[in-house]
Amino acid sequence: MHLRYSYRLYPTAGQRQALARTFGCARVVYNDALAARKQARKDGLPYPRSADLQKLVITGAKRTAERAWLASVGVDPLIQSLRDLDTAYRNFFDSVSGKRAGRQVGLPRFKSKRDNRQSLRFTRNGFRIRGNGKLNLAKIGDVRVKWSRALPADPSSVTVVLDPSGRYHASFVVDVEPQHLAPLDTEVGIDLGLTTYAVLSDGTVIDNPRFLRKAEKKLKAAQRALSRKARGSKNRAKARRKVAKAHAKVADTRMDWAQKQTTRIIRETQAVYLEDLNVRGLARTRLAKSVHDAGWSTFRRLLEEKAARYGRHVGIIGRYEPTSQVCSTCGVLDGPKPLSVRTWTCGACGTCHDRDLNAARNILAAGRADRLNACGGPVRPGVAIPRRAHPVETGTHRNADRTGRKPRAAGAAGIPVL
């Protein structure tokens, strides 16, 4: 299975310049290829093949006066940039034809110099890890790496990323064998909430860290400072960097926290069941800020990735299960409860329920039932399907609000009846 390992890079001033030039060239190649495809479509010509595009926007372009500078950077990241465009188109076509699940992917868009995040990918021919621990990138040089943990195997590619706060990272794709842990007989249902981050069916409560809310004050001050700076000024650029840094700090802390929580859950349990909350649906309601803060989709993704790696099972139960309305003791549907109701007593059997714990128990029961159905027999230790490492550039996610489509009705968007 493919995993990503990310490390901080410390390029010298000269290397930063070389990287900036390569970011620019890769962007131009991408945009030229996209323009050529759009033009071909307009002219009613067949969709240009990748090999022909490569000749047109890289090999051929280098010989022209306007694009001669393409020769000053390594060719590998330029070719990878074209591959990214291919992937973006494939994702778009698969999304249109329904082959690709999940939210709709839009047509690839032109990249801009002002994009927040710049990236380059090097394949095996384009990079090498030196004996002294430096990362050699073709036509960039030997870049200092902070090896925060060991790489488990030879990487097949590396993506160099410049984030908006000005940090460089190298993200290696490594092919590793799954390391299945000794099977356990523990299973747990998880109810993700807003008052507490999550409640597990065994009674464990994971408190909401609310990193964003806490850091918000600092962020707001930075944003106010940014808004006062004159457009295009150096001070504005500095202030923008400060805002980006404040954001990055929150994101890093949150990710670190999520990694620790999910590792613990995967180590201690054989099967984890979650509700498919359709975070996108919820995020459009007034709960938006809390939902984004909670980072539920990251939490789920980490659980799924770790389950695949360590031989555990993650089951997602249908989004219409009324998990907060059913009594987990006797199974009676007790009717909807407003969010403010934290505890309730079942009208049929008289059990007093904590709202979230009851939901977690129902999720566990529903997940078990799903799994039994799927296996057609006794529950075996789960073997999840390993996911491919996320490609860094995969085209444009269409934002439903931007396309002018009406937000879907509450039920259809999968907002659970609370």
Query: Among all residues, which ones are annotated catalytic?
Result: 191, 275, 356
- Choosing from 349, 375, 383, 417, the residue that interacts with Zn ion (CB under 5 A) is 349
Between CA 24 and CA 337 the distance in angstroms is 55
Q: Give CA–CA dist 185/182, Å, rounded.
A: 10
Instruction: Give least dist CB 202 to Zn ion, A.
Output: 20
From candidates 68, 153, 221, 330, binder to Zn ion by CB under 5 A: 330
Q: Give the binding-site size for Zn ion (rule: CB under 5 A).
A: 6
Q: Which part of the chain contacts Zn ion (CB under 5 A), choosing from 89-97, 184-192, 338-346, 382-390?
A: 338-346
Shortest Å, Cβ 196 to Zn ion: 23
Determine contact, residues 58/28, Cβ cutoff 8 Å.
no
**Toward Zn ion, which CB reaches closer, 341 or 410?**
341
Side-chain-side CA neighbours of residue 304 (13 Å): 15
Binding segment (CB under 5 A) for Zn ion, from list 234-242, 297-305, 343-351, 354-362: 343-351
**Which of 246, 291, 327, 359 touches Zn ion by CB under 5 A?**
327
CA torsion sign for 151, 157, 159, 160 is positive
Least separation in angstroms between CB 326 and Zn ion: 9
333 contacts Zn ion (rule: CB under 5 A)? no
Sign of CA dihedral 387, 388, 389, 391: negative
Task: Kindly indicate which of the ranges 129-137, 233-241, 264-272, 339-347 contains the residues binding Zn ion, using the contact rule CB under 5 A.
Answer: 339-347
Please report how close the Cβ of residue 187 comes to Zn ion at its closest, in angstroms.
Answer: 22
Partners of 343 in the β-ladder:
354
> Minimum CB separation from Zn ion for residue 344, in Å?
10
Q: Stretches 247-255, 286-294, 301-309, 328-336: which one binds Zn ion (CB under 5 A)? A: 328-336
Residue 329 as a binder of Zn ion (CB under 5 A): the answer is yes
Spell out the long-range contacts of 200-209 with Cβ–Cβ below 8 A and sequence spacing 24 or more. 200/265, 200/360, 201/357, 201/360, 201/361, 201/363, 201/364, 203/357, 206/261, 208/294, 209/253, 209/254, 209/257
**Do 291 and 279 meet the contact criterion of CB atoms below 8 Å apart?**
yes
Residues in a beta bridge with 271: 187, 313
Q: Are 159 and 119 in contact (CB under 8 A)?
A: yes
> Which of 348, 383, 410, 412 contacts Zn ion by CB under 5 A?
348
Instruction: Judge contact between 121 and 392, C-beta under 8 A.
Output: yes
The smaller minimum CB distance to Zn ion, of residues 184 and 333, is found at 333
- Residue 322 makes contact with Zn ion by CB under 5 A: no
Min CB(348)–Zn ion separation in Å = 5
Distance of CA 199 to the CA centre of its chain: 23
H helix or E strand, kind and range, residue 280? helix 279-283
User: HSE of 38 in the Cβ direction (CA atoms, 13 Å)?
Assistant: 11
- By CB under 5 A, residue 359 contacts Zn ion: no
Contact between 346 and Zn ion per CB under 5 A: yes
CB of 347 to Zn ion, least distance (A): 8
Which span (33-41, 184-192, 304-312, 321-329) binds Zn ion, by CB under 5 A?
Answer: 321-329
Q: Which residues lie near Zn ion (CB under 5 A)?
A: 327, 329-330, 346, 348-349
